[in-house]
Structure 1
Amino acid sequence: MKYVEVEWDDECRGFRVDPYGYLEELPRLAPELPPGARAFVTDPDHYRFSSPRCVKDLALAEVRVATDKSGSLVVRFTPNPWKHEEELEIRYSGVVHFSFDSPHAIDWMASDTFLLDEVLPDPAGCRHEIALTDATLVVRCRDLDAVWTTP
């Protein structure tokens, strides 16, 4: 990611995450983002770690790629029972690129957990990068719609 920092810390045996570089740039970047992406990342709870609507600690549940040429993609995250009351579904439209890189370096976790994300302007519309505990998901698309729902 360009502004958000996510790195493994051997000393504390956990991830250090820091969205503040991105949050400092967000007022400049937000007007260049498509409406859905802008609403998602400028939500005050998005990076507030204590909020039940903070993306951190959600569990990756499903990735649905359209088999037609509609350019749609859906990524669903389930709630962390100690933090969230709702699940998050991100619906991407006009997808021109999708990648999921998983080195399988962490074998003691049952699922990949959402660490942090960053949405940047892109010629296609926006570029959404999600850092997971053992993978990175990148989508370049026209826009996205993030929907919180009760499971």
Structure 2
Amino acid sequence: MKYVTAVWESDGFFLDPRAYLAELPNLRDQLPAGAWLFASDPAHYDMGRGNSHCVKDLELSGIQVATDKSGGLALDFAPNQWKHDSGLRVTYSGVTHFSIDYEHSIDWMPVDTVLLDEILPGEDGGCVHEIALTDANITVRCQDLEAVWGDTS
């Protein structure tokens, strides 16, 4: 990620979205509507207690890739039982790239959870959504995305 910091240190993860939040207002005219709406939600990076719409600690629960070459993709995230009231589904349109890169292994965690994410303008007018997980990084290049909080089952 370019602005968001999500790195493993000797005693845990260091997370810092402040540089991205400072840059985000400058990206408003460059991000597609859905991406802007999701990234600019005041709760998105608010890691304080009681914020059930912060992406941190959501659990990756499903990946649905379109098989008809439509460029559709959906990522489902289950709620963390101590933090979220509901899960999150991010649906991407016009996907041109999707990857999951595993970097390290934390065997004491049963599922990959979201550390933080970042959405930047893409080269073709779309956007690039990077999601740092506890064990991997997800990258999606697409035309736009829609993020909906609710039941993801």
Equivalent residue for 2:18, pick from 17, 20, 23: 20
Q: Any gaps of 5 or more consecutive residues in structure 2? A: none
User: Post-superposition, which runs of at least 4 consecutive aligned residues in structure 1 deviate over 4 A?
Assistant: none
Question: What is the CA–CA distance in structure 2 between the aligned matches of 1:55 and 1:123, rounded to whole Å?
Answer: 25
Task: Summarize the alignment of residues 2-151 of structure 1 with structure 2, pairs less than 5 Å apart.
Answer: 2-10=2-10, 13-50=11-48, 51-124=51-124, 125-150=126-151
Between 101-110 and 34-43, the greater mean CA deviation after superposition: 101-110
DSSP 3-state at the match of 1:31: coil
Spell out, residue by residue over 1:101-149, the C-alpha distance to the aligned partner (whole angstroms, 9 max, x if none): 1135211211000000000001230000000000000000000000001
TM-score where L is the length of structure 1: 0.96
For residues 43 and 123 of structure 2, what CA distance do their matches in structure 1 show?
Answer: 27
Would you say the 8 A contact 1:85–1:150 is kept in 2? no
How well do the aligned residues superpose, as a CA RMSD in angstroms?
1.0
Letter in 2 for 1:138: T
Letter in 2 for 1:21: A
User: When the two structures are superposed, what TM-score results if normalisation uses the length of structure 2?
Assistant: 0.94
Residue 29 of structure 1, CA deviation: 1.0
Structure 1 letter corresponding to 2:37: A
- 1:32: Cα distance to partner? 0.6
SS of the aligned residue for 1:56 comes to coil
Q: How many residues align?
A: 149
Q: CA–CA distance in 1 between the matches of 2:89 and 2:46?
A: 19
Runs of at least 5 residues in structure 1 that lack an aligned partner in the other structure: none
- Percent of pairs identical after alignment? 56
Supply the distance in 1 between the matched residues of 2:15 and 2:104 (Cα, whole angstroms): 20
| 1:90 shift after superposition | 0.1
Residue 150 of structure 1, CA deviation: 3.7
What is the CA–CA distance in structure 2 between the aligned matches of 1:57 and 1:103, rounded to whole Å?
A: 18
